[in-house]
Amino acid sequence: MDVKLGLRTFDESVASNPKRRPDLYEKAVKLKEHGGDVHLTEEDKEKGITKYMFMRMRDENSTTGSLGFRIQGAMLNGQRLSHRYASGRTMADCRQTLRAFLQAASPLQKQSIVTRLQAIHDAASASDWFAQQEVIGSSVLLVYDGKDPHKAGSWMIDFGRTGPAPHRLNHNSKWIQGNYEDGYLFGLGQLIQILRSEADTDIPLDPRDWSYRAEGRDCIVAGYTGTAPECQGKVLRLAKTTSTKRFRGTVAGHPAIAYNSFVQALAVPRLGDAVDPGRVVSVTPEFMQEVAAAMDKARPQFRVAEAQLDVESPFQ
């Protein structure tokens, strides 16, 4: 898997180049055909668009501008898992692609990838040399061996557009023309956080082990009644259709991901072990259908009339 890092993928000089190019207009049209939120005018059609306009469109129609990384491409057993124009616009999209890529990886391989990425992040953060470089268009390559459960790794690649910056960079700030910030470390940190939580989603869930406790506008809270040690004392927040609809089109893309990210980013740094951010878990339609049938028997009728569980949701 090739993951391009940074909050921008264009050079600083691109922003000040006024030249319009018809070929970039055609690329923008192609981006729109793949579902991108692209706005073009008749003048653009006649004269073309600037490289800056196109690069901004491409970044804004991916997770580059929000998460600081985008999945540029992924292969598993010779099959392509993502496309450069449609590799994901939300965190939920990224999670689904990452999950598909890691489906054959062993727990050790998943941990090895995360550990290696964290080592890269720590080394780059501490490097005086790295602080003086502008890193544009660089990626990390994630690889694991489908036959040997012990072989996996991550590497920094693509440095063709890396070069000295006019001043020290923190690689975490958003880009404003003239500050040369690239967001490389911000994106790498976001990728590590998602991969780390994704490695913990493989919890065996039995719909018979969850019972109705309470609910609000957005979710139903189910309590655990089974015997699995890792689930003792836990509750499962089950998203309703009203909630998942509201989060479509947002950076998170799903209420469970939004909640987990919010707690991780704001509450945990301030309250530490006093906060349990929980984890996003994988669910199947079959699991959700059985749970929904059981929950509806215990739910107040006015709640049932308001909204149903989103049985198609892959996360909870």
User: What 3-state DSSP class applies to 201?
Assistant: coil
Domain extent at residue 284: 207-306
Same domain, 193 and 265: no
Same domain, 172 and 24: yes
Q: Which of 19-33, 161-175, 183-197, 268-282 holds the top average pLDDT?
A: 161-175
The model's pLDDT over 32-90, given as tens digits with 9 standing for 90+, comes to 777 777 787 877 778 888 888 888 888 888 888 888 998 988 888 877 776 554 456 77
- From 152, 173, 198, the end of a domain falls on 198
- 213 neighbors 221 (Cβ within 8 angstroms): yes
Q: Kindly report the pTM of this predicted structure.
A: 0.69
Q: Chain-wide mean pLDDT for the chain? A: 84
The model's pLDDT over 209-222, given as tens digits with 9 standing for 90+, comes to 899 999 988 889 99
Same domain, 7 and 139: yes
Same domain, 117 and 172: yes
H-state helical runs in 36-145? 42-47, 51-60, 64-67, 91-101, 107-126
**Distances, alpha carbon 80 to alpha carbons 72, 129, 150, in Å:** 11, 36, 24
Q: What is the pLDDT of residue 140?
A: 95
- When comparing pLDDT for 97 and 199, which is higher? 97
Same domain, 192 and 264: no
Q: What is the pLDDT of residue 131?
A: 96
| Within a domain: 316 | no
- Number of structural domains the chain divides into: 2
- From 138, 169, 198, the end of a domain falls on 198
Q: What is the pLDDT of residue 120?
A: 92
| Within a domain: 312 | no
- When comparing pLDDT for 171 and 27, which is higher? 171
CATH of the domain at 121: 3.30.470.160
- From 144, 163, 198, the end of a domain falls on 198
